[in-house]
Amino acid sequence: MTVSKLRPPTDDRDKWERGLDPWHEDAFPDQFKPQALRRGTRQQGWFELDGAGNRIAFYPDGVEI
């Protein structure tokens, strides 16, 4: 399970960084908020990074991997 003080279980420690849910309505400008996937309290979690440092996946805290 992912939590704020425990990285997802991989050997590559540089592959992860903390952040806020990118699909939450608060991440969008006002005109795009209706298209957001999530509402309510915006969760924190872990972003998975590719070899170039791009964010390729988001795992909210509490998710099992």
pLDDT band at 65 (very low <50, low <70, confident <90, very high): confident
Q: Token digits for 5? A: 């003080």
Mean pLDDT of the chain: 88
pLDDT tens column, 7-43 = 777 767 678 999 999 999 999 999 999 999 999 999 9
Q: Token digits for 60? A: 């909210």
- pLDDT for res 2: 66
Q: What type of residue sits at position 57?
A: A
Instruction: Give Cα separations from 38 to 8, 58, 60, 63 (angstroms).
Output: 22, 13, 12, 15
Parse the chain into domains and list their residue ranges.
13-58
